A and B are shown apart, each in its own frame.
Chain A
C-alpha cells in the first residue's frame, strides 16, 4: 500500500505512458483570432471584467463588471445569469447559435486559505431541460481564469471546425485556434494540452495550466459533462472534476469546442488581494484544525471522499437500488467505502483546489481498463464519488472494479455519471417488465446488474452509433418515455411513474419516498432534480425537525438560498456541513451550522472589504435565485406543472415495492391517511398503493403551495414583480415580462392553490392575488 512521506519525484502511478509529438500537434494549429489585453491585478476578489468570445464571428472582447452588477448578482452563478439574460432569447435552445456557455468564478474563488474555495460555476441552456442549467465544479480553471484577468468567460456562437480557446494569462493574449489532431477524450486530451501549453518542462509549470474538455460521448448524447483539470504534482498527471449535470458538455461539443486552456504566470496566497489577509488566514487555520481533529470521526472524507455516504444511505434505506425501487440492498456492503479505501492511492493532498484539506477528491491509480478502446491500459480513475457509486447501485452493479470502469469511461467520454446511471437504471426496469427487450435495445441485454451491457451501451454512444435505441436512450429518460409511449409498449402511468426525471433532467442518487421535504428539495428546484439545492432527508425524516408544511417551506426557502450562495462566490459546499464544529449539536440551529455561517460572513468581508451580515448572504442568494426562476418562466418553463416529480420519488409504484416495505406503508395508511387497521387489511395491495398515491400526491401539492408562498411566488410558481422589486430589481423588461406571465396564468385560471384542503386546514393565503398587497 502506497502511503505517506514519499518524495514528490519518486511516486509513480504505474499508468500506461503515452508519447505525443507535441511539435506536430501544435504545428497543425491555425490561429483563427487573437486578442491582446492589458493584464491587471485582481482587487478584493474581483478582476472587474468579463471575457466574451464568439466562435461564429471570432469576436473577442471585454465587458466591465460594475459595482451595481456586484450588488445585484454578487458573482459566479449570478454573473452568469445576468450575462445570459442579455445574451440569449426566450426561444434559445441548447443548440441555437446564440446559446451561451459560461464559466464564472466569484469573489471568494481562488482563495487558498479556506477549504473548498476553487469552484467554477458553469451555465448554459441545457439540452435535457431547455432552461438554464448551472453546474458547480472544482479544478483550477475558475481561479486561473480570474487570475488571468476575468471574472467570467462567456462563449457564444459555433465554430465550423474543432477549436481551442487559449487564455494566456502569462502574456495577456486570448486566441481561438484550430486543433485538428489532438485527442477528444479527456484523460488523453487534458494530458496533451497541459504538456503542450506549459511554459517549460517542469511540474511547477504544468501546474499553472488548466484545461476544460469533454469527450466523444458528449457529442452524441444529452449527458455531456465538462471536465475541469487540475495538475497533480505527485501523480504527475492532470486530474479532473466534472460539471456534470444538464448536458453542458453536449453544448461544448455542439460549439465545436475541443478545449479551453487557461494559463497563469504566477499564483500566491494573495492573488485575490483580499482586504484583510490576516483575518482570512485566521479563519482558514481554524477550519483546517477542525478538519484535522474531527473529520475522521464525522465523515472520514479525507480517507474515502464522499463515498462514505454509501453505507449511511444503505442503513437509512435511502440508497437508490434498482431504479429507486429499494433504499437498501443485501449486496450493498460490497460497495461500502472500505472497499474503495483499499483501492485508493493514499497520498495527500487530494483537494481539487489548493488548501482544501477536506480532500474529498480520491483517486485510484494504475487501474487496468477491462473494456473498450483503452482495454488493457493502466489509467488513473478520479473517484468514484458517492453519486457515481450510487448510480451503479441503481443499476444493481455491486462490483467496485466495474464501478471504476463505469466511472473512468463516463469521465473520459465526457458524460455525467448521475444522468447516465439513473437513465440506464430506468431502461433496466423497463427491460425487466418486457417493455424494452433485446431487440428494442439494439442487441443490448439491459437487465439489472449487466455491467457488460452498460459499458457496451456507453461505448456505442461514444462511437456515434445511430441505431434507434442508442440514439434516443442517450438523450435521457424523458425522450425514452415518449418513445416507449409513442410505440404503445407500456402503460403510460407505469412508465411515467418509474422514470426518474423532472424537467427532463435525471434525478441524482437519493431515495426521497419517505421525506416530503426532500421531494420538494428535488421537485421545487430551478434546474431540475438535484440534491445541491436542499438536502433535507435527515432533518425531515430522521430528526423530525420540520414537521409542518410551514416548517418545511421555511427549510425549502433557507437551504436553497444558502446553498446558492456557494455558487455565487466560487465555493464548495462540503466545508460548510460535512465537517461541523465539535459543539455544533448544542447550538440553536445545528442544521445551519451557525459557526460556519459566521465563518463565511467573515470570509466574504475579509476578501471584499464589505460589511455584510448573515442575513445579507441570504439576500444575495435570494436575488439570484428569483432571477433564475424568472428566466425559467421567460423561457416557457418554471411553473407548477414543471415542478412535477414522478411518483417513484414520492412512494411505491409497484406491488413489489409496496410489499418490500409493507409494514411501513400499512402503518402509514392508518396513522397518516386515517384508515383503521381492519380497513387496510381488507384492501388489496393495489388499493393500498392507490390510497397512498392519492395522499402523497396531495401532500406534495400542499408543500408546493407553502413553498411558493414563502418564496414570494404566485400559486402557479411565478416570481412576482413585487418580490423582484423588494430584492432590488428595476429592470423594466424583466418586471413587465413577469406581469404578462402572471396575467396569462390568471386568464387560464392557474393562479389557484394545488392542494386539496380538508376540515381545519387552510392554504397559505386566503386572498387569491395575495402578492398585490406586498410593498
Chain B
C-alpha cells in the first residue's frame, strides 16, 4: 500500500483571532451535532496574556500504535482518524497523546479528535485558521519506549 507522504494540519493566525469561538461551535457540530464547543470540540481556543492560542491535533500519529483494536488509522490523505464503531473506549490514546489533542467528552465513551475537515476554517469570520500541508516524515512520532530511557 502506498503510504501518504503529506497531511493537512490546522495553522492558526493568532493576530487575526477575536475569540468568537465560531470554530469550536462548528467543530462540535461535526462531532456531536451541537453548538456547544468547549469540551465537545476537538479544537480549543484559549485566551492568555499573550493573546489567543489554538490547541489541536497536529496529526503526528503517536496514537496509531496504541490502539489495541485497530480503530485508529492514517487515511489516504494522511489524517489520523478514529473509527468509533471499532473503538472499545480504552482511553489509551487519550492519555498518551503528548499534547492532549485526543479528547474525551462526557457525551460518549469513544474519544474524538481533529480530522482536518476544515469546518472550523470555513466558520472563522476572521480567516484566523487555515489548513497547511506538512510532510508526515517530519512530524510522525512513535510510542515505543527505548530501553533504559
Contacts and interface: CB of A to CB of B under 8 A. Distances in A.
B109 A7 contact: no
Contacts of A357: 66, 92, 95-96
A422 B76 CA distance: 53
A303 B145 contact: yes
B64 A351 contact: no
A113 B68 contact: no
A4 B143 contact: yes
A760 B7 CA distance: 78
B147 A285 contact: no
B143 to A, nearest CB: 5
B61 to A, nearest CB: 6
Contact of A3 (B92, B94, B144): B144
Which of B92, B95, B96 neighbours the largest number of chain A CB atoms within 10 Å of its CB?
Answer: B92
Contacts of B148: 300, 338
Given A5-B140, A233-B70, A277-B109, A268 B146 contact: no
Interface stretch (B15-23, B42-50, B82-90, B122-130): B82-90
B142 A269 contact: no
A337 B147 contact: yes
Nearest to B142: A4
A270 interface: yes
Interface in B94-149: 94-96, 104, 106, 109-110, 140-149
Which of A4, A10, A204 neighbours the largest number of chain B CB atoms within 10 Å of its CB?
Answer: A4
A591 interface: no
B121 to A, nearest CB: 27
A7 B73 contact: yes
A9 B70 CA distance: 10
Interface string A254-296: 0000000000000111100000011001001111110110011
Contact of A349 (B61, B67, B149): B67
A4 B147 contact: no
A285 B73 contact: no
Interface in A346-368: 346-349, 351, 354-355, 357
B73 A355 contact: no
Given A7-B74, A303-B147, A357-B95, A112 B65 contact: no
B79 to A, nearest CB: 14
A166 interface: no
B87 A269 contact: yes
B90 A341 contact: no
A303 B141 CA distance: 16
B65 to A, nearest CB: 5
A3 B142 CA distance: 8
A692 B88 CA distance: 57
Which of B70, B73, B141, B147 neighbours the largest number of chain A CB atoms within 10 Å of its CB?
Answer: B147
A530 interface: no
Interface string B1-41: 10100000000000000000000000000000000000000
Given A288-B94, A300-B149, 9 more contacts: A5-B64, A7-B73, A204-B69, A204-B70, A204-B86, A268-B89, A269-B110, A285-B95, A349-B65
Q: Which 4 A-B pairs have the closest CB atoms?
A: A269-B89, A4-B142, A355-B90, A288-B95
Interface of A: 3-5, 7-10, 112-113, 203-204, 207, 233-234, 267-270, 277-278, 281, 284-289, 291-292, 295-296, 300, 302-304, 337-338, 341, 346-349, 351, 354-355, 357
